[in-house]
Amino acid sequence: MNGIYDQGLARNEANYQPLTPLTFLERAATVYPEQTAIIYGDLHVNYSTFYKRCRQLSSALAKIGISRGDTVSVMLANTPAMLEVHYAVPMCGGVLHALNTRLDASIIAFQVRHAESRVLITDTEFADTISEVLAQQDLPLLVIDYIDRSLDTVGDMLGFCEYENFLGGGDSNYRWIMPADEWDAISVNYTSGTTGNPKGVVYHHRGASLLAQGNVVTTSIPKHAVYLWTLPMFHCNGWCFPWTLSVVTGTHICIREVRTEVIWTAIKNHSVTHLCGAPIVMSIILSADESIKHKLTKKIEFFTAAAPPSESVLTDMDKSGFNVTHLYGLTEVYGPAVANDWHLNWNELTLARQASLKARQGVRYHALEGLEVFDVETMEPVPRDGTTIGEVMLRGNVVMKGYLKNKLASEEAFRGGWFHSGDLAVIHPDGYIQLKDRSKDIIISGGENISSIEIEEVLQKHPDVSSAAVVAVADIKWGETPFAYVELKADSVISENDMIDWCQQNLAHYKVPKYFVFEAIHKTSTGKVQKFELRKRASRLIR
Amino acid sequence: MNGIYDQGLARNEANYQPLTPLTFLERAATVYPEQTAIIYGDLHVNYSTFYKRCRQLSSALAKIGISRGDTVSVMLANTPAMLEVHYAVPMCGGVLHALNTRLDASIIAFQVRHAESRVLITDTEFADTISEVLAQQDLPLLVIDYIDRSLDTVGDMLGFCEYENFLGGGDSNYRWIMPADEWDAISVNYTSGTTGNPKGVVYHHRGASLLAQGNVVTTSIPKHAVYLWTLPMFHCNGWCFPWTLSVVTGTHICIREVRTEVIWTAIKNHSVTHLCGAPIVMSIILSADESIKHKLTKKIEFFTAAAPPSESVLTDMDKSGFNVTHLYGLTEVYGPAVANDWHLNWNELTLARQASLKARQGVRYHALEGLEVFDVETMEPVPRDGTTIGEVMLRGNVVMKGYLKNKLASEEAFRGGWFHSGDLAVIHPDGYIQLKDRSKDIIISGGENISSIEIEEVLQKHPDVSSAAVVAVADIKWGETPFAYVELKADSVISENDMIDWCQQNLAHYKVPKYFVFEAIHKTSTGKVQKFELRKRASRLIR
**For the segment A116-139, what is each residue's pLDDT rounded down to a tens digit?**
999 999 999 999 999 999 998 677
Which pLDDT score is estimated for B453?
84
Q: What DSSP string describes B229-287? A: --S-TTSHHHHTHHHHHHHTT-EEE--SS--HHHHHHHHHHHT--EEEE-HHHHHHHHT
Contact by Cβ (8 Å): A286, A313:
yes
Q: What is the pLDDT of residues B21-70, one digit of tens each?
A: 999 999 999 999 999 999 999 999 999 999 999 999 999 999 999 999 99
End-to-end alpha-carbon separation of chain A, Å? 66
Half-sphere exposure of residue B218: CA atoms within 13 angstroms, side-chain side = 31
- In this structure, of A266-270, A506-510, B184-188, B243-247, the range with the lowest mean pLDDT score is A506-510
E runs forming strands in A446-503:
448-450, 465-475, 479-488
Residue B175's identity, in one-letter code, is R
**pLDDT computed for residue B286 by the predictor:** 92
- Determine the distance in angstroms separating the CA of A5 from the nearest CA of chain B, rounded to an integer: 6
CB contact under 8 A, A4 and B404: yes
Give the confidence band of B1 by pLDDT, cuts at 50, 70, 90. Answer: very low
Count other C-beta atoms under 10 Å from residue B11's C-beta: 13
Which pLDDT does position A102 carry in this prediction? 87
Q: What is the full DSSP assignment across B95-106? A: EEEEPPTTS-HH
> Which pLDDT tens digit goes with each residue over B105-157?
989 999 999 999 999 999 999 999 999 999 986 777 999 999 999 998 899 99
pLDDT at A2 over 60: no
Q: Which of B31, B394, B401 sits opposite A431 (nearest CB)?
A: B31
Please report the sign of the dihedral spanned by the C-alpha atoms of residue A212, residue A215, residue A220, residue A225: negative
Contact A217 B213 (CB under 8 A): yes
- More reliable by pLDDT, B463 or B437: B463
The conformation of residue B381, written as its DSSP 8-state character, comes to: E
Angle at A86 between CA A85 and CA A92, to 5 degrees: 70
pLDDT digits (tens, 9 = 90+) for B504-519: 998 888 889 999 999 9
Q: What is the mean pLDDT of residues B253-278?
A: 95
Tell me whether residue B290 is exposed, middle or buried, using C-beta atoms within 10 angstroms of its C-beta: 0 to 12, 13 to 18, 19 or more: exposed
Which residues of chain A have a CB within 8 Å of the CB of B46?
Answer: none
- pLDDT for B306 beyond 50: yes
Out of A147-161, A236-250, B399-413, B442-456, least confident range: B442-456
Q: Categorize the per-residue pLDDT at A193 as very low, low, confident or very high, splitting at 50, 70 and 90.
A: low
- Nearest CB to A116: which of B4, B396, B417? B4
Q: Do B401 and A12 touch (CB under 8 A)?
A: no
Secondary-structure breakdown of chain A: helix, strand, coil percentages, each rounded to the nearest 5? 35, 25, 40
Q: Which tens digits make up the pLDDT trace of B355-393?
A: 899 999 999 999 999 999 999 888 899 999 999 999 999
Question: Tell me, what's the pLDDT at A375?
Answer: 92
Helix (H, G, I), strand (E, B) or coil at B430: coil
* Lowest mean per-residue pLDDT among A266-270, A380-384, B279-283: B279-283
pLDDT category, A145, cuts 50, 70, 90?
very high
Q: Name the residue facing B364 among A14, A27, A413 (closest C-beta).
A: A27
Is A223 close to B223, i.e. CB distance below 8 A? no
**Does the CB of A396 have a partner CB in chain B at under 8 Å?**
yes
Class of domain B48-205: alpha beta
Write the DSSP assignment of B480-539 as a string of letters.
EEEEEEEEEPTT----HHHHHHHHHHHS-GGGS-SEEEESPPPB-TTS-B-HHHHHHHHH
Q: Decide if A367 contacts A394 (C-beta within 8 A).
A: no
Question: Would the pTM of this model clear 0.80, i.e. be above it?
Answer: yes
Neighbours of B29 (CB within 10 A): 22
Of A19, A95, A217, the CB nearest to B5: A95
Asked if residue B83 has pLDDT above 70, the reply is yes
The arrangement of secondary structure in A442-541, i.e. its CATH architecture, is 2-Layer Sandwich (3.30)
Of B30-34, B191-195, B274-278, the poorest mean pLDDT is in B191-195
Closest chain B C-alpha to A166 CA, distance in angstroms: 25
Q: Regarding predicted confidence, which is higher, A532 or A184?
A: A184
What is the Cα A12 distance to its own chain's centre? 37
Say what angle helices A22-31 and A47-63 make with each other, to 10 degrees: 140
Residue A2 with chain B: CB contacts under 8 Å: 68-69, 184-185
* Contact in structure between B501 and B468 (CB atoms under 8 Å): no
b/e map A30-44, b = 16+ CB within 10 Å: bbbbebbbbbbeeee
Of B255, B209, B254, B245, residue with least CA distance to B225: B245
pLDDT band at A1 (very low <50, low <70, confident <90, very high): very low
- Mean pLDDT across the stretch B230-257? 97
Per-residue pLDDT, averaged over A82-109, amounts to 95
The minimal CB distance from A1 to the residues B1, B8, B69 is found for B69
Q: CB A407 to CB B220 under 8 A? A: no
In B, minimum Cα distance to A96 occurs at B5
CA dist A124 → A103, A112, A136 (Å): 15, 18, 18
Q: Which of B1, B185, B418 lies at the smallest CB-CB distance from A69?
A: B1
Q: How many CB atoms neighbour CB B190 within 10 A?
A: 25
On whether the CB atoms of residues B302 and B317 are closer than 8 A, the answer is: yes
Q: How far is A131 from chain B (nearest CA, A)?
A: 27
Task: Determine the Cα–Cα distance for residues A86 and A209; give it in Å rounded to an integer.
Answer: 13
List, as one string, the DSSP characters of B431-447. Answer: S-EEEEEEGGG-EEETT
User: Is some CB atom of chain B closer than 8 A to the CB atom of A23?
Assistant: yes
8 A C-beta contact, residue A75 and residue A123: yes
- Interchain contact, B68 vs A7, CB within 8 Å: no
Domain A257-439 has CATH 1.10.530.10: no
Please report which confidence band the pLDDT of residue A161 belongs to, taking 50, 70 and 90 as the band edges.
very high
d(CA B109, CA B112): 5
pLDDT score recorded for residue B193: 55
pLDDT tier at A457 (50, 70, 90 boundaries)?
A: confident
Burial A363-396 (b: 16+ CB within 10 A, else e): bbbbbbbbbbbbeeeeeeebeeeeeebbbbbbbb
- The C-alpha of A76 sits at a distance from chain B's nearest C-alpha, in angstroms, of 23
d(CA B380, CA A507): 75
Q: Please judge whether A15 and B183 are an interchain contact, meaning their C-beta atoms are less than 8 angstroms apart.
A: no
Confidence of residue B308 (pLDDT cuts 50, 70, 90): confident
Assess B412–A contact: CB distance below 8 Å, yes or no.
no
Of A38-52, B161-175, B299-313, which range is least confident? B299-313
User: Which chain A residues touch B209 with a CB distance below 8 Å?
Assistant: none
The average confidence (pLDDT) of chain A is 92
What is the rounded CA–CA span in Å between residue B517 and residue A87?
Answer: 58
pLDDT more than 90, % of chain B: 75
pLDDT for A194 beyond 60:
no
pLDDT-above-70 percentage for chain A: 98
| Cβ–Cβ below 8 Å for B223 and A220 | yes
CATH class of the domain comprising A47-206: alpha beta
Residue A263 and residue A321 in contact, taking contact as beta carbons nearer than 8 Å: no
The closest CB to that of B399, out of A3, A7, A15, belongs to A15
Q: Check if B384 contacts A (Cβ < 8 Å).
A: no
Sorting pLDDT into bands at 50, 70 and 90, what band is A525?
low
A369–chain B Cβ distance below 8 A for any pair:
yes
- Whether A47-206 and A257-439 share one fold: the answer is yes
Spatial contact of B338 and B362, defined as CB atoms under 8 Å apart: yes
Q: Which ranges of A257-387 does DSSP label H, i.e. alpha helix?
A: 260-270, 279-286, 311-320, 351-358
Q: Does B268 touch chain A (CB under 8 A)?
A: no
A341 contacts chain B (CB < 8 A): yes
Q: Is B369 on the interface with A (CB under 8 A)?
A: yes
Q: 3-state class of A482 per DSSP?
A: strand
- Inspect the interface and report whether the beta carbons of B27 and A69 lie closer than 8 Å: no
The reply to whether A16 touches chain B by the CB within 8 Å rule is yes
The residue among A11, A15, A96, A407 with the most chain B CBs within 10 A of its CB, best to mutate, is A15
Q: Is B247 on the interface with A (CB under 8 A)?
A: yes
Q: Please count the residue pairs, one from chain A and one from chain B, whose beta carbons lie less than 8 angstroms apart.
A: 177
What is the SS3 assignment for A224-289? CCEEECCCCCCCHHHHCHHHHHHHCCCEEECCCCCCHHHHHHHHHHHCCCEEEECHHHHHHHHCCC
Mean pLDDT score across all residues of chain B: 92
* B404/A3 Cβ within 8 A: no
Q: Do A14 and B399 touch (CB under 8 A)?
A: yes
CA distances from B113 to A121, A293, B196 (A): 63, 69, 16
Contact B9 A248 (CB under 8 A): no
pLDDT at A491 over 50: yes
Q: pLDDT of A258-272, one tens digit each?
A: 999 999 999 999 999
Q: Among A1, A5, A19, select the one facing B185 at the smallest CB separation.
A: A5
**Chain B nearest-CA residue for A33:** B430
Going by pLDDT thresholds of 50, 70 and 90, the confidence category of residue A309 is confident
Nearest to B213 among A6, A213, A400 (CB): A213
Per CB-CB distance under 8 Å, the chain A contacts of B184 are: 2, 5
| B chain contacts of residue A16, beta-carbon cutoff 8 Å | 397
Residue A477 CB burial class (10 angstroms; 0-12, 13-18, ≥19): exposed
pLDDT score for B239: 97
Put simply, the chain A residues between 186 and 245 with a CB less than 8 A from any chain B CB are: 188, 202, 207, 213, 216-217, 220, 222-224
Asked whether the beta carbons of B74 and B120 are under 8 A apart, the reply is yes
Asked if pLDDT for residue A149 goes beyond 70, the answer is yes
B476 CB within 8 Å of a chain A CB = no
Query: ipTM of this predicted complex?
Result: 0.87
Evaluate if residue B451 carries a pLDDT over 90: no
Query: pLDDT tens-digit profile of A389-427?
Result: 999 999 999 999 999 999 999 999 999 999 999 999 999
Confidence grade of residue B196 (pLDDT, cut at 50, 70, 90): low
| Residues of chain B neighbouring A27 (CB-CB closer than 8 A) | 363-364, 366
Could you tell me which residues are beta bridge partners of residue A403?
A201
**Residue B344: other Cβ atoms inside 10 A:** 10
Nearest CA in chain A to B212: A217
Judge: B417–A14 Cβ closer than 8 Å, yes or no. yes
Stretch B448-462: mean pLDDT: 85
Helix (H) or strand (E) segment spanning residue A2? none
Q: Where are the domains of chain A?
A: 47-206, 257-439, 442-541
A265-269, A524-528, B492-496: segment of lowest average pLDDT = A524-528
B404: nearest CA in chain A? A5
Pairing, β B300-304 against β B322-330? parallel
In terms of CA atoms, which chain B residue is nearest residue A11? B401
Closest Cα partner for A187 from A206, A163, A215? A206
